[in-house]
């Protein structure tokens, strides 16, 4: 249901009882109480500071790393899709990029402007905010090494300038400043040959499309790679390719992907995640850690 935004004196768009399945790449997820897309930073600050103090707030990008449980999310989801997406050149090969800019747009901007070091963003089907939260990476590159500083917002609508020193950053993990969310980042690149970079990226994407089920509903890699090994190798060695629960199946093309074949529920995916973890631990004594973020109410809550 759509609520006229001016009824609330906010400039963004507020949806209530919004199915999260419409906002995740798995196309799975129950309803969220409130789903807000801000029009700009001031509007975002006003909206979140007006929410009740105990309201649960979750920021999302393109939901490309999110499993939303079937009973949905109590509280407010702030979506940056279509919002805060400006890319502004600063001095010295540096860009100020809104957290709502897509990683693909950022990669394109870099190579069109002969900036090098951001090619890996082309492999991440999310927004910059999600990439910052995940330290997303591809093709040997990662988000945080190109970050000079970030701007964040808290629940009171206060704005902060942060640097990498304020966080503990690891492979697909960023911890620190827990009650703040990313609204933009200053990213540092090098001067170089944009056309050559674009060609390299095209080749890497083609290689990836040959080995991953990129066109099907998934969240990419479900598990982090354990040190010195690959989650996909371990899962495949357990004979789990093609293993399904309900509408969720371990991809035949790449064992670290779980596909929604059309009617999967979040509980199917979550059960399959647990099954894979148990089997890999039993057969290889490795405890796989989920890369995907799981949110929302479970059936027993
Ligand atoms: C086909 C496919 C391939 C993929 N390949 C890769 C890959 O090569 N490398 C890789 O790293 N990932 C990959 N992913 C996973 C995913 O694209 C990345 O994790 C991406 O960074 C998530 O971005 P998003 O905008 O979709 O974030 P979401 O999935 O919407 O959110 C992810 C997490 O970030 C948090 N978050 C989102 N925005 C903000 C914000 N503004 N401030 C604070 N927290 C925020 C959310 O609360 C959530 O915890 C792939 C996914 C798919 C579907």
Is the distance from the beta carbon of residue 65 to the nearest atom of ligand 1 less than 6 Å? yes
Q: How many Å lie between the centroid of ligand 1 and the Cα of residue 65?
A: 4
pLDDT at 257 over 50: yes
- Nearest atom in ligand 1 to 139's CA: 8
Radius of gyration of the chain (CA): 20
Q: Which residues belong to the active site?
A: 172, 221, 291
Average pLDDT over residues 25-53: 97
pLDDT at 6 over 60: no
The structure's pTM equals 0.96
Q: List C-alpha distances in Å: 83 to 37, 98, 103.
A: 7, 8, 14
Looking at residue 235, what DSSP letter applies? H
**5-19, 33-47, 126-140: lowest mean pLDDT where?**
5-19
pLDDT at 294 over 60: yes
Average pLDDT over residues 46-50: 95
- Nearest atom in ligand 1 to 219's CA: 53
Tokens of 42: 């001031």
Q: Are strands 244-245 and 57-60 parallel, antiparallel or unpaired?
A: unpaired
Looking at residue 230, what DSSP letter applies? -
Is the distance from the beta carbon of residue 122 to the nearest atom of ligand 1 less than 6 Å? no
The pLDDT value given to residue 92: 85
Q: Which residues contact 51 (CB under 8 A, 6 or more apart)?
A: 57, 76, 155
pLDDT tens track for 267-279: 999 999 999 999 9
Task: Please tell me the residue having the least CA distance from ligand 1 atom 28.
Answer: 63
């Amino acid at each position: 249901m759509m609520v006229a935004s001016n009824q609330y004196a906010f400039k963004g768009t507020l949806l209530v009882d919004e199915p999260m399945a419409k906002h995740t790449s798995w196309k799975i997820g129950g309803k969220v109480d409130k789903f807000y897309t801000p029009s700009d930073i001031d509007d975002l600050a006003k909206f979140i500071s007006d929410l009740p103090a105990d309201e649960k707030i979750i920021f999302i990008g393109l939901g490309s790393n999110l499993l939303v449980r079937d009973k949905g999310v109590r509280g407010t989801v702030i979506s940056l899709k279509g919002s805060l997406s400006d890319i502004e050149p600063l001095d010295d090969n540096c860009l100020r990029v809104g957290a709502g800019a897509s990683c693909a747009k950022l990669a394109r901007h870099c190579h069109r402007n002969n900036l090098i070091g951001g090619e890996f963003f082309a492999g991440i089907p999310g927004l910059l905010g999600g990439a910052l939260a995940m330290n997303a990476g591809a093709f040997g590159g990662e988000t945080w090494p190109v970050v000079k500083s970030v701007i964040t917002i808290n629940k009171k609508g206060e704005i902060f300038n942060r640097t990498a020193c304020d966080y503990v950053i690891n492979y697909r993990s960023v911890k620190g400043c827990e009650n703040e969310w990313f609204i933009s980042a200053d990213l540092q690149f090098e001067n170089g040959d944009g056309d050559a970079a674009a060609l390299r990226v095209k080749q890497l994407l083609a290689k990836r499309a040959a080995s991953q089920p990129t066109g099907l509903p998934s969240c990419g890699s479900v598990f982090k790679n354990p040190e010195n090994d690959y989650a996909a190798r371990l899962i495949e060695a357990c004979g789990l390719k093609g293993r399904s629960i309900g509408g969720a199946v371990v991809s035949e093309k790449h064992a670290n992907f779980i596909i929604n074949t059309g009617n999967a529920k979040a509980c199917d995916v979550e059960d399959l995640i647990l099954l894979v973890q148990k089997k890999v631990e039993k057969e290889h004594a490795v405890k796989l850690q989920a890369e995907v973020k799981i949110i929302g109410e479970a059936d027993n809550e």
